[in-house]
Amino acid sequence: MAEHAEVLSFPSAATSAPEERPVLVLDFGGQYSQLIARRVREARVYSELVSHRLSAAEIQARNPLALVLSGGPASVYVEGAPEMDPDVLRLGIPTLGICYGMQLMARDLGGTVESNDVSEYGKADALLGESPLFRDLPAEQVVWMSHRDSVTAPPPGARVTASSPSTPIAAFEDRERGLYAVQFHPEVVHTPEGQEVLKNFLYEVAGAPPSWTPAAVIEEQVERIRSQVGSERIICGLSGGVDSAVAALLVHKAVGDQLTCVFVDHGLMRANEAEQVVETFGGHFHVPLVHVRAEERFLSRLAGVSDPETKRKIVGEEFIRVFEEEARKLGDVRFLVQGTLYSDVIESGGDDGVAAKIKSHHNVGGLPADMRMELVEPLRLLFKDEVRRVGEELGMPERLVWRQPFPGPGLAIRIIGDVTEERLETLREADAVLQDEVRKAGLYRELWQSFCVLPAIRSVGVQGDSRTYGYPIAIRAVTSEDAMTADWARLPYDLIETIASRIVNEIPAVNRVVLDVTSKPPATIEWE
Ligand code: XMP
């Protein structure tokens, strides 16, 4: 009963828009800070990652439903360790401290934290006691630990609710004040019941409604876009990727034909991709679409260029030029859609936590800075997986929604050497074989990226009775979470065999197929 009263005593959030009552994740520089925010959202509760430097007043002004204090690499007693305004814990907002967040809570509330002789890293067997956090969960379970310091005495008034063999105080709570803390990491997959712990905190403790759904996001963004754009015209550059596609569809849903999409076809896409964009937007969704066939312009500027950075610069510049020309033709357009994602807005800044920063090279199409248009950024609050779910909800075809990342300069940086029409055609055919077989094997979505590279060298082969002097094709397939690191994918040998023999049999210019077995680091994902 007492727990119920506690839940009901928090203000109801059911009637307000999810973004008006966020769960704020205070970033203390831990490697999992962003992951915590994503996990909260997976529980259908809107969350934002914010700096640990926010004052109690600033936090209160955001009217959060709950707070989560992230982990962090520092020790709470070290000079310069990230701090938080101690008044934050007196706001009466339900708060969950994780790892460093737990230790900070303990220290600031009068408990003690001490350094262990050895750090505890990896799986641990935890014994969970009675707590709203652990409701309906097995009392014994595996949790993921990663810490050197430990809480050795909980704050006065708090109760210890979990332990593990090396961490007697693995969780504590002060229900009266709505303060909860865990030493283990509920946000990582290595804590199998971790998501349930987070859900219990959100639903049971904080009374947060699971209202952050793709449908709610769409409804909300459509409203926002309408009020921002009014009856003005708006333009959107389509890249063929999921971000610009979802952004465009949201805007179209909001303001209909006030939107014009411009698809700059630079001729460096993979087989059938340009057609797919035109078919989806022009044909299926009836979005006003300008399809600029600029292949010749791009190819003539790329002729004889083999330096990767020069290729990138050329494609970027030419893209802007073409886009500007088209925008000018459209006359008075006040607004420009940009597919900026939440992960572009936040950047974990080491110990110091988040810093608002936009990664310029990740902006859709890298549009010109001097274009005097107001930006409309309907994906600014969304993580990539949320963009995909919104895309599905909007009825976007599976191929577009789940498309693997593809670099802006396209196949130009997958031909190692000069880019020519003939090499592009060869690479496109080889890549189509690879895509086809990877999809047939059901592996497309499991791989971060899978593609072919054409190093413009020749090697000797023998086909039939004659010697050949053809191109090699390299197969590159990686698994990754975020492209910062990547592991080369262990594709089944039979699949590699099928891909290789189809490529050499179907494409006369190719007589050899090799497999890239390097991870990132030391290699990068792309070859250029
Ligand atoms: P690397 O090769 O650096 O790539 O491991 C990391 C991720 O970034 C993509 N990439 C690019 N994307 N323009 C882009 O829009 C580029 O010039 C570019 N270069 C690499 C790459 O495909 C991978 O997903």
For 2-28, the pLDDT digits (tens) are 334 333 333 444 457 888 999 999 999
Statement to judge: residues 304 and 376 lie in one domain:
yes
CA of 418 to the centre of ligand 1 (A): 19
- Closest residue to atom 18 of ligand 1, CA basis: 407
Whether residue 139 lies inside any domain: the answer is yes
CA of 429 to the centre of ligand 1 (A): 21
Note if 99 is an active site residue: yes
Statement to judge: residues 80 and 195 lie in one domain:
yes
CATH code of residue 194 = 3.40.50.880
Question: How many CB atoms are closer than 10 A to CB 405?
Answer: 13
Check if the beta carbon of residue 221 is closer than 8 Å to that of residue 215. Answer: no
Q: What are phi and psi of 140, to 5 degrees?
A: -110, 125
Statement to judge: residues 133 and 173 lie in one domain:
yes
With a cut of 50, list the residues of the chain below it in pLDDT: 1-14, 348-351, 355-365
Among 182, 205, 228, where does a domain finish? 205
- The response to whether residue 185 sits with its C-beta less than 6 Å from ligand 1 reads no
Statement to judge: residues 249 and 395 lie in one domain:
yes
Cα separation of 321 and 312, whole Å?
14
Statement to judge: residues 59 and 169 lie in one domain:
yes
Among 160, 186, 205, where does a domain finish? 205
Tell me, what's the pLDDT at 356? 41
Whole-prediction pTM value? Answer: 0.86
Whether residue 495 lies inside any domain: the answer is yes
Whether residue 151 lies inside any domain: the answer is yes
Q: Where are the alpha helices (DSSP H) in 475-521?
A: 493-506
- Specify the number of domains making up the chain: 3
CA of 525 to the centre of ligand 1 (A): 7
Tokens for 258, please give them: 């006030």
Cα separation of 154 and 174, whole Å?
10
Give the helix/strand (H/E) hosting 112: strand 112-128
Give the Å distances, CA to CA, from 1 to 96, 158, 203, 521: 22, 19, 16, 54
Say whether 316 sits in a helix, a strand or coil: helix
CATH code of residue 278 = 3.40.50.620
- Closest residue to atom 4 of ligand 1, CA basis: 525
CATH code of residue 501 = 3.30.300.10
Cα separation of 188 and 184, whole Å?
9
Q: Which of 6, 48, 120, 185 is catalytic?
A: 185
Whether residue 484 lies inside any domain: the answer is yes
Q: List, as one string, the DSSP characters of 400-463.
A: HHTPPP--TTGGGGTEES---HHHHHHHHHHHHHHHHHHHHTT-GGGSSEEEEEEES--EEEEE
Q: For tokens 């950075």, what's the residue? A: 309
Statement to judge: residues 164 and 21 lie in one domain:
yes
Tokens for 405, please give them: 């990342």
Among 169, 187, 205, where does a domain finish? 205
CA of 410 to the centre of ligand 1 (A): 10
- The response to whether residue 515 sits with its C-beta less than 6 Å from ligand 1 reads no
Question: How many CB atoms are closer than 10 A to CB 122?
Answer: 9
Statement to judge: residues 386 and 276 lie in one domain:
yes
Whether residue 201 lies inside any domain: the answer is yes
Note if 147 is an active site residue: no
Statement to judge: residues 231 and 136 lie in one domain:
no
Statement to judge: residues 47 and 144 lie in one domain:
yes
- The response to whether residue 72 sits with its C-beta less than 6 Å from ligand 1 reads no
Is omega for the bond preceding 521 within 30 degrees of 0, making it cis? yes
Which distant-in-sequence residues (6+ apart) come within 8 Å of 372 by Cβ?
Answer: none
- Closest residue to atom 12 of ligand 1, CA basis: 407
Closest-CA residue to 85 (of 33, 50, 117, 116):
50
- The response to whether residue 447 sits with its C-beta less than 6 Å from ligand 1 reads no
11: which DSSP letter?
A: P
Which distant-in-sequence residues (6+ apart) come within 8 Å of 113 by Cβ?
Answer: 76, 77, 103, 106, 107, 149, 150, 151, 152
Q: Which of 173, 187, 273, 429 is catalytic?
A: 187
Question: How many CB atoms are closer than 10 A to CB 392?
Answer: 15
Q: Which of 6, 52, 99, 377 is catalytic?
A: 99
Check if the beta carbon of residue 488 is closer than 8 Å to that of residue 518. Answer: yes
Check if the beta carbon of residue 23 is closer than 8 Å to that of residue 45. Answer: yes
Which distant-in-sequence residues (6+ apart) come within 8 Å of 439 by Cβ?
Answer: none
- Closest residue to atom 7 of ligand 1, CA basis: 483
From the alpha carbon of 524, which atom of ligand 1 is closest? 5
Tell me, what's the pLDDT at 215? 95
Statement to judge: residues 179 and 262 lie in one domain:
no
- The response to whether residue 408 sits with its C-beta less than 6 Å from ligand 1 reads yes
Question: How many CB atoms are closer than 10 A to CB 383?
Answer: 18
Q: For tokens 């610069």, what's the residue? A: 313
- The response to whether residue 312 sits with its C-beta less than 6 Å from ligand 1 reads yes
Cα separation of 202 and 208, whole Å?
5
Whether residue 491 lies inside any domain: the answer is yes
Q: For tokens 């809107």, what's the residue? A: 46
In which domain, by residue range, is 238 found?
214-401
Tell me, what's the pLDDT at 517? 98
- The response to whether residue 524 sits with its C-beta less than 6 Å from ligand 1 reads yes
Whether residue 7 lies inside any domain: the answer is no
Statement to judge: residues 104 and 150 lie in one domain:
yes
Whether residue 8 lies inside any domain: the answer is no
**Beta strand 95-98 with 179-182: parallel, antiparallel or unpaired?**
parallel
Statement to judge: residues 382 and 332 lie in one domain:
yes
Cα separation of 434 and 439, whole Å?
8
Tell me, what's the pLDDT at 353? 52
From the alpha carbon of 486, which atom of ligand 1 is closest? 5
Note if 220 is an active site residue: no
Instruction: Among 269, 404, 526, name the best residue to mutate to test ligand 1's pocket (greatest count of ligand atoms within 8 A of Cβ).
Output: 526
**Beta strand 335-337 with 289-293: parallel, antiparallel or unpaired?**
unpaired
User: What does the pLDDT look like over 294-348, one tens digit per residue?
Assistant: 999 999 999 999 999 999 999 999 999 999 999 999 999 999 999 999 988 886 4
- The response to whether residue 384 sits with its C-beta less than 6 Å from ligand 1 reads no
- The response to whether residue 525 sits with its C-beta less than 6 Å from ligand 1 reads yes
